[in-house]
Amino acid sequence: MTESNGTLIKMEGVKKVFYTDEVETHALSEIHLVINKGEYISIAGPSGCGKSTLLSILGLLDSPTDGSYWLNGQRVSKLTISERTRIRNREIGFIFQAFNLIGDLTVYENVELPLTYRGTGSAERKQKVQHALERVGMAHRLRHYPSQLSGGQQQRVAVARALVGDPLILMADEPTGNLDSKNGEAVMELLRDLHRNGATICMVTHDERYANFAERNIHLFDGRIVEESREVSVSA
């Protein structure tokens, strides 16, 4: 399929149904979504509206029950698990609400993780990890373990891990959910900074304050997009 040069993600008619004990749960219905390169998108909505499910499908952590999904011009909705894993490793960076750093790995080893699964050489890994940690201001804590860091610091490291592989897009699922307001603000500033430098970001949040950091807001309700708005200016 031929896309315009700016289109990074395109979803058409995406549905997600969960089957549990003969019960069908329609988490997403008829999702049509386009995300262009360099955009900063927020996905908001009440609990259970399907925003995390949508982010999972966007991030290739899950696959849609129906519909089409193109990522960077490649149709990815019907890929095998291993193909999704490979694309996810190379094209997508994740930031989770619970940070999801591996406690038995140092900061360096956590950030290095995506590169090890890509087969990147040791010298190149070292350089990229160093650069990523410098971007988030955590280069001085290389040998520390996550348990030795504050929440805000852990999330910074998680951001570095998401950036280290130069992904096409950053997927952030409630990145400030486990942080106090000060640290939350700091992480959001970091994301804004990254966006200014050209990063494409798709963020799920239920906090309106942080939703306004994005330049485009998508509201979900009962698994459907009910509203889409564009921010003209973002207040600091």
Partner 1 sequence: MNNITQDFRYALRMLWKHRFATLICACALALGIGANTAIFSMAEAFLAHPVPIDGAGRILALVNSQPRHNILTSSVAVPTYLEWQQQTHSFDQMAAYNWDGVNFTGDGTPQKVQDFLVTTNFFSTLGVQLRLGRIFLPEEGQPGQNQRLILSYGLWERRYASDPNILGKVVQVDGKPFTIVGVMGKGFNFPTGAEAWLPFAFAPNQRVDRNDRPLWVLGHLKPQVTIAQANAEMLTIAQHQADAFPDAYRDWELRLLSLGDFATGDLTRQYTLLLLGAVAFVLLIACADVANVQFARVSGRQKELAVRTAMGATRSRIVRQLLIESVLLSLFGAVLGIFLAQWILAMILSHMPPDVARYVAGWNTIHLDLGALIFTFVIALASGILSGIAPSLLNSRTNISETLKESGRGASSGRARHCMRSAFVIAEVSLALVLLVGAGLLVKGFHALLTVNQTYHPETLLTFYFNLPDMQYPQPSARAEFDDRLLQSLASIPQLQSAAMVTTVPYADGDYVDAQHFLIEARPEERGNSRAAEIQTVSPNYFSLMDIRLRDGRLFTDSDADKTQPVAVISLSLARRHFPGENPLGRKIRPAADKSEN
Residues forming beta bridges with residue 229, ordered by sequence position: 217
Q: Smallest Cα–Cα separation from 29: which of 217, 226, 202, 218?
A: 226
Ranges within 136-195 binding partner 1 (CB under 8 A): 161, 174, 177-178
Q: Backbone phi, then psi, for 149, in 5-degree steps?
A: -115, 155
Return the residue of 2, 4, 82, 233 that touches partner 1, per CB under 8 A: 82
- What is the residue-wise DSSP string for 107-149? HHHHHHHHHHHHT--HHHHHHHHHHHHHHTT-GGGTT--GGGS
List, edge to edge, every strand of the sheet that includes 74-75.
23-36, 7-20, 66-71, 74-75
Ranges within 12-71 binding partner 1 (CB under 8 A): 52-53, 56, 59, 61-62
Examine residue 96 and tell whether it contacts partner 1 (CB under 8 A). yes
Q: Smallest Cα–Cα separation from 174: which of 137, 211, 149?
A: 211
Ranges within 105-144 binding partner 1 (CB under 8 A): 105, 113-114, 116-119, 121-122
In the complex with partner 1, the residue whose CB is nearer, 90 or 224, is: 90
Q: How many residues form the binding site for partner 1 (CB under 8 A)?
A: 35
Return the residue of 21, 23, 24, 81 that touches partner 1, per CB under 8 A: 81
Residues that bind partner 1 (CB under 8 A): 52-53, 56, 59, 61-62, 81-82, 85-86, 88-90, 94, 96-98, 100-105, 113-114, 116-119, 121-122, 161, 174, 177-178
